[in-house]
Structure 1
Amino acid sequence: MAAKANFYWLLFGWFPACWAAPGVAVAKPSARAVSSSDLISWSMGLLIVLSIFFLCIWGLRKLAVLTVNGAEKLRIVGGLSLGMREKVILLQAGKKQLILGVTPGRIQTLHILEGDDCLLRDDPLILARETGFAQKLRQALKGRSDA
C-alpha cells in the first residue's frame, strides 16, 4: 500500500513540480463569472451546429440515401376498410400482389396474385404497352427525331 502511495506521489506530486522552473510560483488563473454574452455565444454556436445537422439530414432524405433496401420492392397499392378495425389491403411484393386481411390481432393472406392476374399495374413498361396514346406519342417523337 505504501508503494502505491509513493508511486502516485511521484506521478502526480513530484513530476509537475519538476516541470516548473525552480523558484517560480505557478500562477493559477482566476475564475471568472459567466456573463450573458457567454451564454448568447454558446447558444448561437449550438443553434448553428443543430441547424447544420438538420440540414444534412434533410439533404440525405431528399437524395434518398436513407431508403431501406427493400422499400422499393414492397408497397401498399390499395386498401379497403371493412369496419372500425378490419381492413383488406392489396400489397405489391416484387411481381406478386397479396390480398391481406388485417385485424388488430392478426394479418392473414387471403389471396396471392401473380403475372396476368395482378389487379393494378403501375409498371411504366406495362402501361405503355396497354395504352394507345403512349404508342402514338412514341411514334410521333421518333418521327421528329428522324426529320
Structure 2
Amino acid sequence: MLNRYPALLLLLSFPAFADTGKPNYVPPPSVISTDNMLQMMGGLLLVLIIIAGAAWVLKRFSLIPATAAGVIKVIAASGVGQRERVVVVEIDNTWLVLGVAPGRVNKLHTLQKPSENPGSAQTNPAADAFADQLNQSIHKEHA
C-alpha cells in the first residue's frame, strides 16, 4: 500500500522535519508602549506651547493689525509703560489722543483730521524717481 501512494508518504514526513521552535526568538516590541505614548504626548504638548507662545507674542507686541469697524478707527498706538498706551483714535473727522491704562481711559488731546495720511508726508525723493523711471520703462515695453 505504501508503494501505491509515494506522494502521501512524502507529505506525511514533512511536518516531522519542520523547525517547530526557535529557542532564541524574541518577539518585536509592541508599537503601543509607554515610552512611545509619552514621546507622542510630549510632542503634542510642545506644539501646543509653541502655538500659545506665538499667540502671546503677537498679542503682546500688537503685531496683528486691528481692523477698523464702524465709526471708530484706531490710527496709531504706542506703549509708554508696562501696561500704559497712548492711542490715536479717529471719530468722524476728529482725532482723539487717549491715554489708556488698566481700568482707565483719559483724553489727552483733540485734533482735526489732517488732509493727507501722516505716513505719506515722509516720502523719499530717490524712491519717487525710481518709481517714475520704472513706470516709464514698463509703458515703453507695452507700447
Aligning the two structures, in what range does the TM-score lie when normalised by the shorter sequence? 0.3 to 0.5
**TM-score (ref. length: structure 1):** 0.39
User: Higher helix share goes to which structure?
Assistant: 1
Bigger Rg, structure 1 or 2: 2
TM-score by length of 2: 0.40
